[in-house]
Amino acid sequence: MSLTNQLKNQHLLWRAGFGPAVEQLEDLRQFNPQQFYKALAKASEKKPVYMNVADNYLKGLVMGVGELGRMERLKKMTPEERKNIQRKNREGVRNLNLTWLKEMINSGAQLREKMAFFWHGHFACRNLNVFYQQELINVIRQNALGNFGILLKEVSRSAAMLNFLNNQQNRKGHPNENFAREVMELFTLGRGHYSENDIKEAARAFTGWGSNLQGDFIFRKGQHDDGVKTVLGRTGKLDGDAVLNILLEEKQTARFICTKIYRFFVNDQPDQEKIEWLANRFYKSDYEISALMEDIFTSDWFYDEKNIGTRIKSPVELLAGIQRMLPMTLENEESMLILQRILGQMLFYPPNVAGWAGGKTWIDSSTLMMRMRIPQLFNDEDEMNVTPKDDDDQMMGMRDDGNPSAIARRPKAQKLGGARGTRPINANIEWAGYTNYFSKTQREALVNAMAGILLQTNTAVSADIIRQYSDEGSREAFIRSATIQIMSTPEYQLC
């Protein structure tokens, strides 16, 4: 099968972004993937705007008074005030989620946001302090296409990560190994490329690294172990920065990062020869991320048939991709949070320190059925009545844990849909741009033309089945209904 420019460009836009936007449809045939990639890279050069969602009450708590003043204020708080702060922090993190999801859908800087999405899973961090989370995601978005060494150092110094991995408890004489272990196992070398002794010694090097309440990095000299340490064969009075430099000197770090990037952007099945080639170049470039991504997205092998339409879209990719092709305004934005939870990927709430496993783990019998209903939920008032998996952070403290008052407060199931007493998504889809694109297409060729831009798989959907379930009342009604039907197929789950 000879691959068309259109299919290759769609492949590029799904992998280097969140899928083609309706306004890009005309360009898909006209430009080759190299030209398209150049435009994507250029659009992602600009510095991202800081996402600041913390409410004024929380800002008032951390601004304008010194560290001691803040500590005093916290000590004097009533349990009710503390609860209020927790609630506002949770709301803040949820607002951050929705703000970033909108950015993924609408931003021209698709490559940067997709890369940041990858790093968000690589540097997985759960923290219910909205200031810490918005600072960390800002660091990730700023450096997403920059230098991996700088990104690693900035993330490692972030209040979100230092607190999440317990480095605040890492002090001279009482080292806490959690931070040092995850930096080696998850951020740089990967499991099996260091010894337990390397972790013990690195933990001593990171003693004294912490943050203040405002989220600024603080080095507490009195808590730092300044003795001699040996990490990966290098000996000296090592501190945290020295350990990070040692990790970057190890070629295994380039190999580990390139393997993860290959599996995320190219194919779940790693190709060792290609990964070794990428790792060599990544290491020699001193870890320049944009050069690595250019190596991938401009190579012939990236567009091999075996790499196209073979990845299962993550829940966030699925939700963002539908809204790029069918621009819409949502009356009930909270529905995006509920859908993320049901499908198993909620931004800022990774399941554990290793992030989301991805691949086939996205699909089970219930999530597949739910995924195939989402286009219908956007398009009409199909009712959704399911109970998402129980997670206290994501449920904003609504978990019951046997507490009667909490049980009374807890929703039986979260509903989206049109039934009385439930809130439909109420998506107002702007169909004009999409339907206009097919204005010159013959009626009998419509299904294949639409499937050509919506699906990345080479298995054709049955035009007869799509027609059977579509509204033949008018050309416009047919295009709309057939599009929703195609998006509701198992094939649409792949990119």
Check pLDDT > 60 for residue 264.
Answer: yes
At 392, is the pLDDT very low, low, confident or very high (cuts 50, 70, 90)?
low
Parallel, antiparallel or unpaired: strands 229-231 and 234-236: antiparallel
Same domain, residue pair 211 and 272: no
Inter-residue contact 253 to 247 (CB < 8 Å): yes
pLDDT at residue number 232: 98
Same domain, residue pair 71 and 173: yes
DSSP strands (E only) in 268-426:
328-330, 384-386, 414-416
Q: Which domain holds residue 265?
A: 5-43+251-307
In-domain check, residue 318: no
Put simply, whether the predicted model's pTM sits higher than 0.85 gets the answer: yes
pLDDT at residue number 387: 56
Same domain, residue pair 224 and 335: no
CA 429 to chain CA centroid, Å, is 24
pLDDT tens track for 136-181 = 999 999 999 999 999 999 999 999 999 999 999 999 999 999 999 9
Inter-residue contact 101 to 343 (CB < 8 Å): no
In-domain check, residue 393: yes
Same domain, residue pair 339 and 408: yes
In-domain check, residue 105: yes
What stretch of H or E contains 209?
strand 209-211
Which of 101, 110, 118, 106 has its CA nearest to residue 41?
110
pLDDT at residue number 55: 87
The total of structural domains in the chain comes to: 4
In-domain check, residue 402: yes
Parallel, antiparallel or unpaired: strands 427-429 and 209-211: unpaired
State the residue for tokens 């931004």. 347
Q: Is 423 helix (H, G, I), strand (E, B) or coil?
A: strand
Same domain, residue pair 166 and 196: yes
In-domain check, residue 314: no
More confident residue, 323 or 59: 323
Same domain, residue pair 416 and 445: no
In-domain check, residue 424: yes
pLDDT tens track for 167-217 = 999 999 999 999 999 999 999 999 999 999 999 999 999 999 999 888 999
Phi, psi of 174 (to 5 degrees): -135, 65
Residue at which a domain ends, from 249, 275, 290: 249
pLDDT tens track for 442-493 = 999 999 999 999 999 877 688 889 999 999 999 999 999 999 999 999 999 9
Same domain, residue pair 479 and 405: no
What value does the CA radius of gyration of the chain take, rounded to a whole number of Å? 24
Class of residue 423 by CB neighbours under 10 A (exposed 0-12, middle 13-18, buried 19+): middle
Inter-residue contact 182 to 353 (CB < 8 Å): yes
Inter-residue contact 110 to 265 (CB < 8 Å): no
Same domain, residue pair 274 and 235: no
Inter-residue contact 203 to 224 (CB < 8 Å): no
Same domain, residue pair 231 and 283: no
Same domain, residue pair 448 and 348: no
Same domain, residue pair 211 and 105: yes
Residue at which a domain ends, from 383, 410, 430: 430
Residue at which a domain ends, from 249, 275, 299: 249
Same domain, residue pair 393 and 454: no
Rounded Cα gap, residues 338 and 179, in angstroms: 31
In-domain check, residue 49: no
Check pLDDT > 50 for residue 401.
Answer: no
pLDDT at residue number 213: 81
Most confident of 46-55, 98-107, 379-388: 98-107
State the residue for tokens 């799904």. 14
In-domain check, residue 93: yes
Inter-residue contact 8 to 456 (CB < 8 Å): no
The number of beta carbons lying within 10 Å of the beta carbon of residue 57 is: 10
